[in-house]
Structure 1
Amino acid sequence: MRFATWQLPDGSTRAGVVSGPSAYGFRDGESVLDVVALGLDDALALGERTLGTSRATALTSVRLLPPLTPPSMRDFAAFEEHVLGALRSVTSRVEVPPEWYEAPAFYFTNPHALVGAHDDVPIPPGCEVFDFELEVAAIIGGRGASVSPEAAVDLVFGYTILNDWSARDVQAREMVVGLGPTKAKDSATTLGPWLVTRDEVDDRLDEDGFLTLECTVSVNGEMVGSDLLSNMAWTFPELVSHASRGTVVVAGDVLGSGTCGNGGCLSELWGLRGERSPRPLAPDDVVEMTVEKLGTIRNRVVAGAPVPPVGPARRRSNPLPRTRSDLERRR
């Protein structure tokens, strides 16, 4: 089943079920996050009731919003090929660090910067090297703490497409400090077009628990990258297990797979080729991503608003004052 959130022409927002070319709103005004919190079985039952009792609205008449507003978002780096190319492009590393193989790595990203499946995406302030990242995200369907990979299977409610838009020149500066990525990643993340429940894709699980879904991305109609989701280094339940280690995950949390290989982003190609080919994204470029069984998202890049940066750090003379008396003596 596909759950979605959309905006009607009058500006109001509804959530419900997508079936074929139509959307069917929940009768009691539930959000997709409310429905995810019910658990998969109850959510599917509510979806069936909704299809049987709600009036159809043509998808062509609405604006698709991100399917839900998650409590938190973690973005992993689960594709070795992407890690190698991106590190060569953004840092001075020429090989994947051995630490990457030891455990899944992720960072927290901004749940307040989500954009819909067909929304315009502004270039972030101060960015001259803009990039996309083709990913799939798992949505948590319950609460768990330090769960095993086996138990984490039942915590996955479903999946959606995720585009982690990236300011690569900003990221390169941030990574030197050792706290990045921060502003390089939090201006926009596309999530959509809807949330597909896991039962819809269980037939694509291979014997090791990886999803064999084809993923593609094009820019202005020209294919840039394609990969199988099953080329991940860890399964989604393993990512969930790691995310919950020593802490909790809750219903609606988003866990990104990290960027697919074989051209899942421009940065990977730049690192492997030693040049910025294809060129960075520019205004009016259209980025389209399709993941088998999950749908298609399509966003146009637009110029961003000028925003004045925070100035550089002030430089202090040594020795620094440590007490109020020190300040008094300097006057």
Structure 2
Amino acid sequence: MPEGHSVHRIARQFRQNFQGHRVRVTSPQGRFVDGAAILDGRTVTDVKAVGKQMFIDFDDSVWLRVHLGMYGAWDFAGEITQDATIASANGRMGHTNQRGTDLAAAILDDAGENSLSSIGAPRKTRVRMSEQTKGLAGSEWETFPPEPVGAVRVRLLAEHAVADLRGPTACEVIDDSRVGEVIAKLGPDPLLDDSDEAEDRFTAVVRRKPTPIGLLLMDQSVVSGIGNVYRAELLFRAGVNPHTPGKLVPDETVRAIWQDWSRLLRIGVETGQMMTMDNLTGDDYRKAMAHRDDRHWVYKREGLPCRVCGTHILLEEMGARKLYWCPVCQR
């Protein structure tokens, strides 16, 4: 499932290429025909991400809410204008597979985290960003817009850009009041609000719960955007046993986790990858950006020695998701 940094990157890509443009909206798959009819011909006025959910604002206060879930992803095609801070070399945006921040110097992940293959939905895409289509012989599409491929739930088509949505958990047309209701149920997102009040809200909720902290961090009503990778890494970095009840985690530790999440989220948005190891430079940094095995402390390292103490990293299930942790460093 895409974590918060991916959804923020996708929202920024939409703002670059669709905000201010009138769009044709269709449902090639046929499962969103009524919603598409409501949105068709409207202008995209704003796009926002809150945690793992994205909200596209159309004129007359009509919104499209999208939650990608486990298998959802967006494909882009056409003359895509790239945000220099989140430049994506080509193709699919969903999960954590956008390419790096500098097209000329992007360090591409070899396991799909930063490539055209989606982590959760390993489907090849024919979509190419504009920089990649110029002068390419044998391009997979020759006219714009390209024909939809596969089960496209909704297509947004502007004059020079198209976005296709596949496999979302949620895709619905809502109004202003419903947007407010959905967001009110979500925990704070530090990319939208990194104020002391947001930190206090997160801390207060965690500190009154008997629920294990490893479950609380995945609860989107407690904090927005954290998924399986960031959960494991944040808890290791804080030295916290994932089974510790929230109310027993010291106040200063809970606040440190919030502040760390704020920092790691920003790194994820700017690089497109979940870099959770600190102080890497030169070859070590390039290696870590290219290989997931070299940029995480515990995630996907079950049975391997802890990078700090040498104890074998444990793997168990918590909240129906895999949990990785060190029983010594996280006592």
What is the TM-score of this pair, normalised by structure 2? 0.23
Larger RCO (alpha carbons 8 Å, 6+ apart): 1
What is the TM-score of this pair, normalised by structure 1? 0.23
Normalized per residue, which structure has more strand?
1
